[in-house]
Amino acid sequence: MKSTRVLVTGASRGIGRAIALRFAQEGAHVALCARSSGALAEVAREVAQAGGVGLIQEMDVADPESVAAGVQGVLQSFGGTLNVLVNNAGIFDVVPFAETTLEVWEKFYKVDLRSAWLVTRCALDGLRAGSPAHVFNIASVAAQQGFAGSSTYCAMKAGLMGFSNGLREDLRADEIRVSTVYPGATDTEIFDGVAGDWDRESMNRPEDVAEIVWAGLNTDGDAADLAVPPPE
List the catalytic residues.
153
Q: 3-state DSSP: the chain helix, strand, coil percent, rounded to 5?
A: 50, 15, 35
CA distance 232 to 229: 9
Range 105-108 contact pairs with CB under 8 angstroms and sequence separation of 24 or more: 105/152, 107/62, 108/152, 108/153, 108/155, 108/156
- Contact between 111 and 91 under an 8 Å Cβ cutoff? The reply is yes
Write the CB contacts of 182 (distance below 8 Å, at least 6 apart in sequence). Answer: 139, 140, 141, 143, 144, 225, 226, 227, 228
Q: Which of 116, 118, 128, 225 is nearest to 173 (CA)?
A: 128
